[in-house]
Structure 1
Amino acid sequence: MITDILNWLQGLPQPALVGATGLLVFLECTIGLGFLAPGESGLLVAATTAHTVPRFLVLWAVVTVCATLGDSIGFGIGHRWGSRLRETKLIQQHGVEAWDRATGILQRRGVWAVFFARFLPVIRTLMPAAAGTSGLPFRKFLPAAFAGALCWSALHISLGVALGEAAKQIEGAFNTGGLIVLGVLVLAGLFFFRRWRKKRSRVEEKV
């Protein structure tokens, strides 16, 4: 089914492609539909056509707005139904572990979890509802969700433009979310390694 959707996307004219991609991203960001809508894959396919500045900017704006709206609806669902969402058949069948991870990250990182969850497959679908359930104020959630959507969409579109047709094959072999997570982990490792080196140097100077 997902392959059929992606093949259908590739055959659309540019305006329809942008609109359909925005819709897929919107649906992916709404809890329950994220397990069905290939938003990330659809974005990568659409990004291979964004090879001019106007096309890039239009796709970026549409996807950012759609992702933020989807996250806002997910937040509202979580705020309305609370922790009962975890016991629903959908979560029990597809995402209990991801739901627990999302709530755990929220408890440790707060609003930053909303931003970084955007780059994690499955968790980004559940994080908005988990944030609504946690009692996080919407005025704090919205800027973080928007910033995450802005950076996530820019990264994926840039990747699609840079790789062109090869991006479609890479998406099939290795989900881009995995590439992004790997990159974030490498950068985090380098950051903490540098801090450790500086701290060690200070200790040696004192000795």
Structure 2
Amino acid sequence: MLIEEPLSALAQLPTPLVIAAAGGLALAECTLGLGFVVPGESGLLIAAAAVTNPAIFVIMVSVVAACATVGDTLGFWLGHRFGHRLRETRIVEKIGSQHWDRAADLLHRRGVGAVFVGRFLPVVRTLTPAAAGASDLEFKRFLPASALGALCWSTLHVGIGASAGASARYIEDVLGRASWIVLTVAVMVVGGVILWRRFRTRDSSPQKPLERAR
């Protein structure tokens, strides 16, 4: 099956390795610039598809949230260290200076709430921590908002990935059973048609006259 095979291969990997990979992808997604080199969000969804029980779900959500918060913290300190000069760097220009401006405007309008909201906005998510560090936002206010946003973001994406994996396995199982039913019905229909044609041919064939008794 096309869906079941990659999921089975992923599920056969050691669980700690899958969780560590999910955390690494989240760290890359949330660290300034790395999210455009490593497909963090899509990779996280794929890794989360291997979740098969509540315990692994909780652990993966926690690890991903922690790694995302670390990525945000790195971005914040880069912004705090270099200030708004980051906007003119090659990395930000490659991402798009307009996204930096959008993050800065969001921070100006919403304050610390922008750190939480920005977590769910593509591209802006990567730049908001650095823009927050470049602003006057204090780290003790930044960190709780970042951690809460990371936890919600992690729960959402791991939940989507786990649900998709469970749905894919269910669909594959249903289609697997259905294929045998369809095959059985098809064989019965073909067999019935063949028998019907044979009987019809036999009934329509001219019968030989009986020989007269001598």
Shorter-chain TM-score range: 0.7 to 0.9
**How well do the aligned residues superpose, as a CA RMSD in angstroms?**
2.0
Give the counterpart letter for 2:19 in structure 1: V
Give the counterpart letter for 1:13 in structure 2: P
- Residue 36 of structure 1 corresponds to which residue in structure 2? 37
Between the aligned residues of both structures, percent identity stands at: 53
1:4-23 aligned at under 5 Å gives the runs 10=10, 12-23=13-24
- Residue 139 of structure 2 corresponds to which residue in structure 1? 138
Structure 2 CA distance for partners of 1:57 and 1:66, relative to 1, 3 Å: same
- Residue 157 of structure 2 corresponds to which residue in structure 1? 156
* Greater Cα radius of gyration, structure 1 or 2: 2
- Residue 107 of structure 1 corresponds to which residue in structure 2? 108
Summarize deviations over 1:12-57 as a string: whole Å, max 9, x none.
Answer: 4321111011011112211121211222112111111112011101
Indicate conservation of the 8 Å contact 1:30/1:73, yes or no.
yes
Partner Cα separation in structure 2 for residue 110 and residue 12 of structure 1: 42
Length, aligned pairs only: 161
Matched, 1:97 2:129: no
1:194-205 aligned at under 5 Å gives the runs none
- Please give the secondary structure, in 2, of the residue aligned with 1:50: coil
- Please give the secondary structure, in 2, of the residue aligned with 1:120: coil
Partner Cα separation in structure 1 for residue 133 and residue 120 of structure 2: 19
Give the counterpart letter for 1:19 in structure 2: A
Q: Structure 2-normalised TM-score? A: 0.71
Matched, 1:87 2:88: yes
Partner Cα separation in structure 2 for residue 133 and residue 95 of structure 1: 17
Indicate conservation of the 8 Å contact 2:116/2:145, yes or no.
yes
Give the counterpart letter for 1:64 in structure 2: A
Q: Which runs of 5+ in 2 are unaligned?
A: 1-5, 169-214
- Residue 57 of structure 1 corresponds to which residue in structure 2? 58
Indicate conservation of the 8 Å contact 1:25/1:66, yes or no.
yes
Partner Cα separation in structure 1 for residue 97 and residue 14 of structure 2: 39
Larger CA deviation: 158-167 vs 140-149: 158-167
Q: Which runs of 5+ in 1 are unaligned?
A: 1-5, 168-207
Indicate conservation of the 8 Å contact 1:118/1:152, yes or no.
yes
